[in-house]
């Protein structure tokens, strides 16, 4: 199944902004983030099709996963 992954802020460093990837049926968010070298505890916001999700949420064909790290500023 094909899933769109969107990375934001520091998650883009050395990676990508938006990318489509193929995953086996039954894959979850954890199966997406592990190969990217992102740990679940590093994710401040995880959105699946615009809705809050956790690392165990199972993905479906055509899903869009957006990942945000904690962001600070002043």
Enumerate long-range contacts of 24-31, CB under 8 Å, 24 or more apart.
25/1, 26/58, 27/1, 27/3, 27/58, 27/59, 28/55, 28/56, 28/57, 28/58, 28/59, 29/53, 29/54, 29/55, 29/56, 29/57, 29/59, 29/65, 30/55, 30/56, 31/59
Query: Running along the chain, 74 residues long, what does each successive block of 10 average in pLDDT?
Result: 97 96 96 94 96 96 97 67
CATH fold of 2-68 reads Ubiquitin-like (UB roll) (3.10.20)
Domain ranges of the chain: 2-68
pLDDT at 71: 79
pLDDT at 6: 98
pLDDT at 73: 61
């Amino acid at each position: 199944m094909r899933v769109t992954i969107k990375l934001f802020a520091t998650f883009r460093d050395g990676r990508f902004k938006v990318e489509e990837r193929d995953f086996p049926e039954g894959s979850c968010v954890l199966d997406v983030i592990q190969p990217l070298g992102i740990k679940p505890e590093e994710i401040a916001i995880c959105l699946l099709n615009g809705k809050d999700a956790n690392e165990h949420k199972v993905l479906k064909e055509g899903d869009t996963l957006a990942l945000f790290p904690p962001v600070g500023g002043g």
